[in-house]
Structure 1
């Protein structure tokens, strides 16, 4: 059964990134009527911060972990299982201060784990989530796409591409919805602003 993992990270319930990611899931469902969508809202159900116990637990061999250590990694195991189960990911990203929302970084810290999503060998690090595809839907108040005057301020796309690639996900597509501040100020109608991005999202799935 084809499976899509859908993550949202914006704190705004009616955000641009949420609407576009929802359209992606809806279109994907139409294309895969026999498929399954795993949904996780990182804003309303944030991942837990990594702490000292988590770190020592992660680097303790699995068969030697105590009950406390297993409990410390249970949330990480759950999130990684979703990544392993899914064939494809769509991540709704709201650009915050030129980077990703803090709740999305918490999720990254939980799923980037030696021996589960990557490993170190004689040839160096190797991602273990191979054969997956990811679509990043990034909404930002300004325009930060490559080649624009503010393009160098975009740390969202490069970071997520890098971390996903490190974990073995190299088929990554970015859909940018820059300039959303125009909607918030009323300079542009929301429907007018969204239309081209919605078309891009539907075509990306098709």
Structure 2
């Protein structure tokens, strides 16, 4: 019975009085979950809305706590790492990570970056050994699937697209996914939001169909 870790990152909800202000990425991720639960209603889902409850940013004291031996940490250091420990435990439980996010300034929202910084942690999600030469970091976990559902105001961020070089969202998350134990990465993206024309409507519909189809395929595979 696979567990899904569902992370939403948009600052917007999906129930605004003005429909145009609703989060597209959250809505698309919701379509994925609905389809999955139609086929596998018993599978557990761990949910966090990072946009509404952002994780703390790391600090100097947080870093010092991470690099203090676990048996020697003070109560204060243990408290500083409590959220990180919880988030890592949630990740450990998950076989599938469903991550929804808008593109903010060509990258990820600060809340999502804060989550990554809390979770990608030495001795917890990766090890470090200089004997490995130029690539001393190795992930501890493996076998996970990451589904990234994103939305953006412009278009052409795909490989070969006119804004490929400006896409610091999907490629960044795919790189970081290695240290979450991700072996399989999928991305679904809705574009053209700022243009608010038929292209945007078409892109959202295509993304919605892709989310439903992918959820069905993965649910069947599990």
- Check whether TM > 0.5: yes
Matched, 1:127 2:112: no
Matched, 1:162 2:175: yes
Q: TM-score, normalised by structure 1?
A: 0.93
Q: TM-score, normalised by structure 2?
A: 0.87
Distance, in Å, in 1 between the alignment partners of 2:203 and 2:189 is 12
- The structure-2 alpha-carbon separation of the partners of 1:148 and 1:192, relative to structure 1 and needing over 3 Å to count, comes to closer
Matched, 1:82 2:90: yes
CA deviation vs aligned residue, 1:97-132 (integer Å, no higher than 9, x gap): 110011111111100100001111333211122111
Matched, 1:27 2:15: no
Question: Once superposed, which parts of structure 1, at least 4 consecutive aligned residues long, lie more than 6 Å away?
Answer: none
Cα contact 1:5–1:89 (8 A) shared by 2: yes
Per the TM alignment, residue 190 of structure 1 is displaced from its structure 2 partner at its CA by 7.1
CA deviation vs aligned residue, 1:163-202 (integer Å, no higher than 9, x gap): 111343131111111212233xxx2397654221111111
For 1:44, the equivalent position in structure 2 comes to: 52
Cα contact 1:141–1:181 (8 A) shared by 2: yes
Unaligned runs of 5+ in 2: 14-21, 217-222
Distance, in Å, in 2 between the alignment partners of 1:162 and 1:31 is 30
Distance, in Å, in 2 between the alignment partners of 1:168 and 1:18 is 23
CA deviation vs aligned residue, 1:60-103 (integer Å, no higher than 9, x gap): 11111111110010010111111001110111010011100111
Cα contact 1:8–1:41 (8 A) shared by 2: yes
- The structure-2 alpha-carbon separation of the partners of 1:94 and 1:205, relative to structure 1 and needing over 3 Å to count, comes to same
Per the TM alignment, residue 138 of structure 1 is displaced from its structure 2 partner at its CA by 1.2
For 1:115, the equivalent position in structure 2 comes to: 123
Cα contact 2:10–2:101 (8 A) shared by 1: yes
Equivalences, count: 203
